[in-house]
Structure formats: C-alpha cells, structure tokens
Amino acid sequence: MDWQKNLKRIKGEFALRSSAKALELSTTHRSTEERKAILQQKIIQHVGLGYKVETQTDFQVVLSHGGKVNHIMHFILSILTAGFWLIIWLLLAMFSRRKFITLSVDEFGNTHFSGN
C-alpha cells in the first residue's frame, strides 16, 4: 500500500515539475489576487500528493513531506519480536528524512520551486 502512495506521489511530482518547465514564463504583470490564487492552486496540488504546509506568506509557501517515525509503534513491535525489530527501527530512524520544498509566485504569476 505504501509503495502505491509513493508511486502516485512521485508521478504527481514529476507531472508538476515537468508541466512547470514545459510552460513558457509569463512577462505580464499579475494582480495580487491572481498571484495568491495561483499559489493556492499549487498548494492544493501538493497537499493532494501528501505534502503538509509548514509556513505560508502571500506569495510563498514551505511544504514538507515524510520523515516522521512512529517510535511508540516500533517500540511495541520490538518487544513483540524479542528485539528483532530494533534493526528496522534503527534504519528507519537513521534514513527517514523530511523533504522540504519552497514554492513561490513572482510578480508575473510564474511559479518557482526550490528544495531537496
């Protein structure tokens, strides 16, 4: 089930990034309301892919994805498996990183992505 969610997220991210690159950059100034609406649309798309809003201003948002390990569940599994689950728990804790991206909308309504 998790791999299906990850595949969907990866496909969605690729579609979002490739569609943004395929479009030509606008040189027409946009109103404040238009820019806010463009950013809100991008936020909705990314939240649908599993991202969470960390911080947001009028024309910029920081989103995060992944990285939270349920330590209580892994502790219980470690007890139930007489410690064998500790290896998996340790690996998850070491390699689960949160991914942060920043989306911003410039005065022309162009969306810019940055992050890891």
Condensed to tens digits (0 to 9), the pLDDT of residues 14-48 reads 555 555 455 678 889 999 999 999 999 999 999 99
Rounded to the nearest 5°, which phi and psi values hold at 69? -105, 130
- The per-residue pLDDT for 19 is 53
Determine how many CB atoms are found less than 10 A away from the CB of residue 3: 7
Rounded to the nearest 5°, which phi and psi values hold at 23? -80, 145
The closest alpha carbon to 111, from 1, 2, 24, belongs to: 24
Domain span holding position 26:
2-115
Task: Name the pTM for this structure.
Answer: 0.63
The closest alpha carbon to 45, from 7, 23, 17, belongs to: 17
- Into how many domains does the chain fold? 1
The mean-pLDDT minimum among 13-17, 78-82, 94-98, 109-113 falls in: 13-17
103 close to 113: Cβ distance less than 8 angstroms:
yes
Residues 6+ apart with CB under 8 A from 89: 69, 71, 74, 75, 77, 78
